């Protein structure tokens, strides 16, 4: 069992950022270390909380159970067969 504080949550965030930007998790870590990845917790125009990530001209918003990329269809937790019990509506 991992004892480091917030390890699971940070690991999940790194994975979500990698998926949102369509890059590897190692690339996410490298971008964070180089300062070339921006992350901001925002509230969208519909009042929903999300994390907006930007890197190399790409922008995506990560919501609980969904990822929205600029000029693309939303990728929801249903695509990952979440199994229900989350806030994605299953």
**Within 10 A of 41 (CB to CB), how many other CB atoms are there?**
9
**Within 10 A of 28 (CB to CB), how many other CB atoms are there?**
23
pTM of this prediction? 0.72
Average pLDDT across the chain, whole number: 82
Burial of 9 (C-beta count, 10 Å sphere; 0-12/13-18/19+): exposed
Query: For 29-69, how does the pLDDT look when each residue is reduced to its tens digit (9 = 90+)?
Result: 999 999 999 999 999 999 999 999 999 889 999 999 899 98
């Amino acid at each position: 069992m991992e004892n480091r504080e917030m390890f699971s949550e940070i690991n999940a965030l790194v994975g979500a950022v990698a998926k949102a930007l369509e890059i590897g998790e190692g690339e996410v870590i490298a971008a964070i270390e180089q300062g070339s990845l921006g992350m901001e917790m925002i509230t969208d125009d519909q009042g929903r909380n999300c994390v907006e990530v930007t890197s190399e001209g790409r922008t995506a918003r990560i919501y609980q159970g969904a990822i929205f990329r600029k000029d693309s269809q939303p990728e929801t937790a249903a695509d990952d067969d979440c199994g229900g019990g989350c806030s994605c509506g299953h």
